[in-house]
Structure 1
Amino acid sequence: MGESVHTVSTTPMVRQSGCPFDPPAELLDARRHGPISRYTHPGPGGKPGWLITGYDMVRSVLADPRFSARKELMNVVDFEIPPAPPGEFLLMDDPQHRRYRKPLMGKFTVRRMRLLTERVEQITADCLDAMGKTGPPADLVTAFAKPIPAIVICELLGVPYEDRGSFQEQIDSFMNGETSEEELIAAYTAVQNYLAELVVAKRANPTDDVLSDLTDSDLTDEELKGIALILLSAGFDTTANMLGLGTFALLQHPAQLAALRADPALAERAVEELLRYLSVAKQFWRTALEDVELGGQTIKAGTTVVLSYNTANRDPERFTDPQALDLQRQEGGHLAFGHGVHQCLGQQLARVEMRVAFSALLNRFPTLRLAVPAEEVSLRPEAADIYGVKSLPVTWDV
């Protein structure tokens, strides 16, 4: 028998008023009781499972082949979940996962992403120019946080320029956590149809982009469509929310903002600390393929565990003063990009975009500040897969 273990309430978790950057209090409380808690998955017919909030345990599960990422094995509700569509490799195990990921690995290396830096700098400068011409105030989300990663990932994949605006809106509508089921299905279907047409176009007339490169492989059109959807949604939404929420966090921590302004060389470390502190990709799921002992508890085969990245990245056993935003922090090793075979493929691209964008923004607008009280900044709901701000009204001296 396992020892007594904390149980987490299944009521909807929300962030505490005045603490937009901290995980919900229930999660932080669970971590204080230990790295693993009993948990009932939310929603109608939610199944019993486990919530893992400790850094070492989250990291070990992500590297443990006894836990599966397969969508159809997620035992969270009382009805069957279908397998992930072809190409959507985040929700698959090896060898299927490896088959889809391997052709992409050479496209997102550190060296190749650094070669992209000049283009990211130009895209960022164009967005800041437009912001400056329009003048204050501005919504930093629509003027800066969304267009930079949207343009970069669309160029990488070969989405035609004229299609990017509507494409960005469709992606955003099925990831913002607030779209009605009807609107979500419509947006998802529109994106799927668009990508299907794009794959056919790339096969007929390849251009200099990742999707065209992949047409010269044994991957089917359906598989290419799924891969493109994963890259576009992950490459856009996570970075956009890091740029928006990250700027909000910097503006709310003036000493840290001043340190970054004073020392541009701090940018790389600042990006890592913001990734740890904010953890916009809050959690992932894994299902035990066999009975597994964790923290004195037996996770039964077929049970799905929730891996809480945002509490793991605030674990006091791993990070000194973890609730503080400290751009000088020496400790690395955060889990914002995951760990193990599913670790984020585009992490180097995201780092380049954030390093360039934050530095350029602060350099271009040295008096940048919120245009509304902090408590009036509109936040994404916890139901959204990726956390962030819906809008960020800012102003500056002209």
Structure 2
Amino acid sequence: MTEYSVISDAEEFRAACAVLANGTGPVAVDVERASGFRYSQRAYLVQVFRRDAGVFLFDPPAIGDLTPLNAAIGDVEWVFHAASQDLPSLRELDLDPHTIFDTELASRLLGHERVGLAAVVEHTLGITLKKEHSAADWSTRPLPDSWLEYAALDVLHLIDVRDALALELEEQEKTAFAAEEFAATLSRAPKPPREDPWRRLSGLHQVRGARNLAVARSLWQAREAYAQAQDVSPGRLIPDRSLVAAVMANPQSKQALAGIKEFQGRASRTQLDRWWQAIVDGRATEELPRERVPSDALPPPRAWADRNPEADARLKAARPVVEAIAEELHMPTENLLTPEYLRRVAWAPAGDTPEAIGGALTALGARTWQVEQTAQKIAAAFVEAAQQPDEAPATAS
């Protein structure tokens, strides 16, 4: 049985912060949310472990203000597994580390085949973790003891894992690589809101015509507003496929909407007036959405030979070069260089010198170590592609 303390009131919280402040070394941090159950991505449990302090499981909804925790441990390294998933929820609580170590990211840089927490703990420490509660509804109160045990184990071994991975990074001469990746994760700005988030409706590609798209948008907006008000994941009220089915069926009355077999979900009938009004509003609006949205997305590489043959030659020359560097460094190609970055510089290069390629990669978001490892060889591949003779012209008749 793992030893841990569940903290759910202000007095206990202040005492726990004092204990953690007097601990030694880095702190392991994890967050449990209720993704798929609740509308928000708020933290419903924050787990913290520090040597000479122990494991503490903090209940943010019960405690309220968690900023004293930042004062207690904010100046030491925070150890995460997949930090990018947890940082947004922590920042909502005004918990913001100065430095981090990400055991998942470190494992990727080291070329480990399996990078889930259980696999990494087993690989580094030989300890087997059960992952049976990872998709649970962590907004549940009270939390079952088995869930709390699981949550405690998520951080209990993380410092030992961090130390083992740090040694591996040093042996592979990747400590500096990892430091840049951790800093980039910590400083990465949140993605800006999508201009038309309703267009992410699964199955929307089946809907044709601006008016039908307006109805789909109206239904999505109605579901979103109700989900936010109820703090319930939208898909648990009515799944995407049901909204699309309602649009495609084109019901002419509220009763006809209720009769659509594919229009399912726990709120499909209890909120029938809401959904019918959304359909009416979508049919009446004068603000019709565009059927096609301009995009700066590149065409799929399979189409490059016809649309931009020079870019196709550059990509075909550079891609195996980058893959070879990644293999030599014993890491996945996507961790050496984001594939989209390579496609971008191949499609419209700023030049074919290492400096030009490096500048373009940096502007896209590549880290210094990635540019140092790849820019020169990408530039050489581009030059080689340009020197390849064109296909022989067709014989004149």
Asked if Structure 1 and Structure 2 have the same fold, meaning a TM-score greater than 0.5 normalized by the shorter chain, the answer is no
Higher gyration radius (CA): 2
Q: Which structure is higher in helix share? A: 2
Normalised by the length of structure 1, the TM-score is 0.22
Q: Does 1 or 2 have the higher relative contact order (CA < 8 Å, sep 6+)?
A: 1
